[in-house]
Amino acid sequence: MWFSWSPVAWCCLVSSPEAARLSAEDISPSSNGPKAEPVLLDDDPDDPDDLFAGLTSCESIELSKCYQEQDIYSYTVCVCVCVYITFLSILINFYVCVCMYMCIYIYIYIYIYIYAFIYLYVFFHIYLFVCFLFIYTLFYIIYLFIKIDHSFLCICAHMSILIVINFFVFLGDGMNAYMVYKVLTKTSLSIFSRDEVCVKRRFSDFLGLHSKLASKYMHMGYIVPPAPEKSIVGMTKVKVGKEDLSSVEFVEKRRSALERYLLRTVKHPALLKDPDVLQFLESSELPRAVSTQALSGAGILRMVNKAADAVNKMTIKMNESDAWFEEKQQQFDNLDVQLRKLHASVESLVCHRRELSVNTASFAKSAAMLGNSEDHTALSRALSQLAEVEEKIDQLHQDQACADFYLISELLGDYVRLITAVKGVFDQRMKTWAKCQDAQVMLQRKREAEAKLQHANKPDKLQQAKDEIREWEGKVQQGERDFEQISKNIRREVGRFEKDRVKDFRVVIIKYLESLVHTQQQLIKYWEAFLPEAKAIA
Amino acid sequence: INHEHLSSVLTSLCVSPQQEGLDDGPDFLSEEDRGPRAVNVDLQTDATLQVDISDALSERDKVKFTVHTKSTLPNFKQNEFSVVRQHEEFIWLHDSFVESEEYAGYIIPPAPPRPDFDASREKLQKLGEGEGSMTKEEFTKMKQELEAEYLAIFKKTVAMHEVFLCRVAAHPVLRKDLNFHVFLEYNQDLSVRGKNKKEKLEDFFKNVVKSADGVLVAGVKDVDDFFEHEKTFLLEYHNRVKDSSAKSDRMIRSHKSAADDINRIASTLYTLGTQDSTDLCKFFLKVSELFEKTRKIEARVAADEDLKLADLLKYYLRESQAAKDLLYRRGRALVDYENANKALDKARAKNKDVLQAETTQQVCCQKFEKISESAKQELIDFKTRRVAAFRKNLVELAELELKHAKGNLQLLQSCLGVLKGDT
């Protein structure tokens, strides 16, 4: 059933150049706030961080193994080439030595030439050494370029990170019970202290991670992937201990949502290097994120902030100087509307398919009974065959419904939430602009006050006014710089987001169509088996 | 939009099931009129009496059927003629058969169901109300679909009425009935009115009495093994067919709603495709096109299942009810006969009214024997017909499912090939 989708449903390959090394001191285990500095991406237009040579969705572990094998292959190829070059160089060197020796032999009687000759010899060797160094670097650059090329899969990202959320346990009892998820991280990246880490996390830990990342990065314009939503109803049902299908499904849904959330987070090059993320994935003890509870002080503060933001959004009228942002905002608004509609239709399709499978099962039973009561033997047999076929078809419909759900519906849900995050980032930009404008207004006011004071001739207050003006000038400059920075970040993030979106949708839709193909093939098989039975009725 | 508009559109539609020109293959509707008629297989196309419905008109609440007869029998004034009839008149004919004592020994062909466009009308109304919330293309598409559905139901009801008439015409005894001839020939209104409240109440009571009686009669053990076996078999069979019919209806309904969902998904994908600025736009457009086509196939699958499976089960539900009625009548005659015997014995013992008791007994005996004889033949025919009809429909169902699944598979594979080639 849908358990087949769960283990290692998603894996992600991220490459990271050698330059990204975080020393161990940066990963402070007790960080639970803005103490850890946010990691900035280099202001580099062709971001070498952004190498996603792998695929983003629904790959099994066999595929990642295949990549690792291909990594080994690429390694051996490079090593062989280097060894070959070394031998070649040694050979050439040797040949040159012999030549030189011959020259020495000829000129041995002209002893003044020996010094010149020695200098020549040494110089020539240095020249050769430099040549071969150049050839080695050339090969390394080619190797890097090949890594960048997505289609050249055999020499692809050799550093990978794989996150699997697996079997979970229920700890505690009664209404205070909570689910504990085991997060297994397998990686060859150097920023992680070990190759394989397994930690236990609660759902509130995930929410805590998200809130920390959001507070650090949202205002800079990075799109932080949103965490899965809290669902009180679902969790209560599970806590009450109902072993029925819906609570099992709920747990599975949540598990795969958390897995996708973590994978999206580590795919983001800046977030991957963030100490909070590393701590989340590696350290065995994590301080409880109490601020994520709905009824805590922080929760109420969050709600107040959200309300204030909504009001602000309505009052700020931004003077958009950049057409790109306006266009993109419009695009995202449209996309949001359409994706929501699509999500709703897909959910209703899932529901109807499940209903269809239930109805087909009951029809199968009733057809079997009809076959039993029929006294014409051939017809009776045919009817029971029909009942069997319908039962198999019902199973098929159920599987198809699961595919619909786990492939498309969840993806659409994720993207609806992601677009909300993107819109949030655009709002942040507006807020930054508003702050910049406010600073300018304040500066203007201070200048006016200073002008007034100049006329009123109060020297001490004048000095204070001048200081304030300087302070506000600094703030205005800072505001403008921030605005520039956030605009640039957003452009880059949106570019990355679009690339990911294209890839995700393409892969998922192709997978979905393949599942539809499989369903039809099975249908053909079943009906072909039934047809001779039906024809055999005398 | 309201259903007046729609019915005025359809009033101009004159459906002629006899037209050869109906497209075959892609249009599933054309298979329909061959469907229910083929439910009972051995129709003797006897040259002496051929009946069909050549035309039908749908007005606001009523459907008017044009019954066309071709006959070489002497009792008709002409060789070929047509009359216009309504549903109530069919019901009148059927009831006249049921109520007449002469035909007690035959399975009366079940009456055609009332033309029921309520579900369609409801959907149309909902569509009209929801007009503002969807785009123009979606609206026209859904309207077309609803119109097609309306047309399908319409054709089906015409076919059902035709089947009834053909079965009566094919039956060696029933075709000679005077009421039937009047029905076929009398070209003015038969002024059959629907039952008013009093008559409906009477009917209701009659039904109650009848079912109580039926239970009583069924309790009487029959002398003849054949009939005893048939009784138990038919009872069980009838219940099971009822169950299967209901379940198959539900299954097909959810299949249809799943197909509707795919329609909506296709149109949303189309909008996404036109709006998108990245490489995905071509992708989405192609996938939306694919979903449109698969939806048509899914809808056709549901319609074919409806036709071959659900209609078959519904028809045999009614037929088995008619067979049960026959057995009930026979049982009743048997009880009467036994009572008459007892009365005769009592009269002989008391030596009073012996002659009267004797004649009553004779009459009952004759009636019983006549019914038994014809009932046996009818029941055997029923079985043969049933087996043949099931065979035909199951084979056709399997073939159609295969055809559609193969078509679907081909579409999906070609689209998948194109999409994978693009990446």
- A-chain residues within 8 Å CB-CB of B226? none
B331 and B395 belong to one structural domain: yes
Task: For A512, name the nearest residue in chain B, comparing CA atoms only.
Answer: B416
Q: What does the DSSP assignment read for A398-433?
A: HHHHHHIIIIIIHHHHHHHHHHHHHHHHHHHHHHHH
- B-chain residues within 8 Å CB-CB of A510? 416, 419-420, 423
Taking residues B260-276, report their average pLDDT: 85
Could you tell me if residue B21 is inside a domain? no
| Reported confidence tier of residue A364, pLDDT bands at 50, 70, 90 | very high
Which percentage of chain B shows pLDDT scores above 70? Answer: 87
Nearest to A363 among B237, B247, B262 (CB): B247
**In this model, does residue B231 exceed pLDDT 80?**
yes
- A-chain residues within 8 Å CB-CB of B415? 513
Q: Where are the beta strands (DSSP E) in A376-511?
A: none
Task: For B281, name the nearest residue in chain A, comparing CA atoms only.
Answer: A502
Could you tell me if residue B4 is inside a domain? no
Domain residue limits at B133:
46-189
- What distance in Å separates residue B88's CA from the closest CA in chain A? 33
Mutate to test the interface with B, among A57, A346, A351, A352 (most CBs of B within 10 A): A352
What is the model's pLDDT at position A32?
A: 37
Query: Are B390 and A531 an interchain contact pair (Cβ–Cβ within 8 Å)?
Result: no
Task: For A341, name the nearest residue in chain B, comparing CA atoms only.
Answer: B268
Name which of A174-183, A301-310, B23-32 the model is least confident about: B23-32
B130 and B222 belong to one structural domain: no
- A-chain residues within 8 Å CB-CB of B399? 531
Query: Are B244 and A523 an interchain contact pair (Cβ–Cβ within 8 Å)?
Result: no
pTM of the model: 0.71
Query: Are A349 and B262 an interchain contact pair (Cβ–Cβ within 8 Å)?
Result: yes
**In this model, does residue B39 exceed pLDDT 60?**
no
Mutate to test the interface with A, among B230, B252, B394 (most CBs of A within 10 A): B394
pLDDT tens per residue across span A481-522: 888 888 888 888 888 888 888 888 888 888 888 988 999 999
CATH number at B321 reads 1.20.1270.60
Which string of b and e fits B101-112 if b means at least 16 CB within 10 Å? eebbbbbbbbbb
B185 and B223 belong to one structural domain: no
If one counts every other C-beta atom within 10 angstroms of the C-beta of residue A377, the result is 10
Most distant pair of Cα atoms in chain A: their distance:
122
- B-chain residues within 8 Å CB-CB of A514? 416
One-letter amino acid identity for B359? T
Contact A185, A165 (CB under 8 A): no
What is the model's pLDDT at position B241?
A: 92
pLDDT tens per residue across span A449-484: 888 888 877 777 788 888 888 888 888 898 888 888
Return the higher-pLDDT residue of A203 and B46. Answer: A203
**In this model, does residue B315 exceed pLDDT 50?**
yes
B253 and B140 belong to one structural domain: no
Query: Are B265 and A366 an interchain contact pair (Cβ–Cβ within 8 Å)?
Result: no
B328 and B396 belong to one structural domain: yes
What is the model's pLDDT at position A362?
A: 93
If one counts every other C-beta atom within 10 angstroms of the C-beta of residue A136, the result is 15
Could you tell me if residue B157 is inside a domain? yes
CATH number at B166 reads 3.30.1520.10
Return the higher-pLDDT residue of A157 and A238. Answer: A238
> Which residues, including other chains, have CB under 8 Å from residue B318's CB and lie 6 or more apart?
B110, B111
What is the model's pLDDT at position A526?
A: 92
- A-chain residues within 8 Å CB-CB of B276? 335
From CA B29, how far away is CA B152, in angstroms rounded?
A: 6
Q: What does the DSSP assignment read for B295-322?
A: HHHHHHHHHHHIIIIIHHHHHHHHHHHH
Could you tell me if residue B393 is inside a domain? yes
| Reported confidence tier of residue B405, pLDDT bands at 50, 70, 90 | very high
Taking residues A90-119, report their average pLDDT: 72
What number of H helices and E strands is found in chain A? 12, 3
| Reported confidence tier of residue A147, pLDDT bands at 50, 70, 90 | low
What structural domains and CATH numbers belong to chain A? Answer: 2-22+62-152 (no CATH), 31-57+156-289 (3.30.1520.10), 327-538 (1.20.1270.60)
Query: Are A521 and B409 an interchain contact pair (Cβ–Cβ within 8 Å)?
Result: yes
- What distance in Å separates residue A345's CA from the closest CA in chain B? 6
B326 and B399 belong to one structural domain: yes
Return the higher-pLDDT residue of A234 and B215. Answer: B215
Q: Can you tell me the ipTM of this complex?
A: 0.80
Residue B162: which of B53, B66, B248 has the closest Cα? B53
Task: For B232, name the nearest residue in chain A, comparing CA atoms only.
Answer: A373
Task: For A529, name the nearest residue in chain B, comparing CA atoms only.
Answer: B398
- B-chain residues within 8 Å CB-CB of A524? 402, 405-406, 409
B358 and B327 belong to one structural domain: yes
Could you tell me if residue B222 is inside a domain? yes
Task: For A327, name the nearest residue in chain B, comparing CA atoms only.
Answer: B277
Could you tell me if residue B52 is inside a domain? yes
B356 and B306 belong to one structural domain: yes
Contact A99, A120 (CB under 8 A): no
> End-to-end CA distance of chain A, in Å?
39
B291 and B360 belong to one structural domain: yes
Q: How many residues does chain B have?
A: 423
What is the model's pLDDT at position B260?
A: 85
Nearest to A510 among B233, B277, B416 (CB): B416
B278 and B317 belong to one structural domain: yes
From CA B163, how far away is CA B111, in angstroms rounded?
A: 10
- Overall domain count for chain B: 2
Contact B404, A508 (CB under 8 A): no
3-state SS string for A171-183: ECCHHHCEEEEEE
Nearest to B391 among A342, A501, A534 (CB): A534
> End-to-end CA distance of chain B, in Å?
45
3-state SS string for B195-211: CCHHHHHHHHHHHHHHH
**Joined tokens for residue A401:** 């419904």
> Which residues, including other chains, have CB under 8 Å from residue B72's CB and lie 6 or more apart?
B47, B48, B49, B79
The one-character DSSP state at B82 is E
Which string of b and e fits A243-275 if b means at least 16 CB within 10 Å? eeeebeebbbbbbbbbbbbbbbbbbbbbbbbbb
pLDDT tens per residue across span A26-85: 333 333 333 334 444 443 333 333 333 333 332 333 333 334 444 566 667 777 777 777
**Joined tokens for residue A426:** 């655009």
B343 and B398 belong to one structural domain: yes
What is the model's pLDDT at position A74?
A: 65
B247 and B391 belong to one structural domain: yes
Which percentage of chain A shows pLDDT scores above 70? Answer: 74
pLDDT tens per residue across span A392-404: 998 888 888 887 7
Task: For A330, name the nearest residue in chain B, comparing CA atoms only.
Answer: B275
Residue A509 to residues A215, A317, B274, B323, B412: CA-CA distances in angstroms? 34, 39, 17, 54, 12
Question: In the beta sheet, which residues pair with residue B68?
Answer: B52, B82
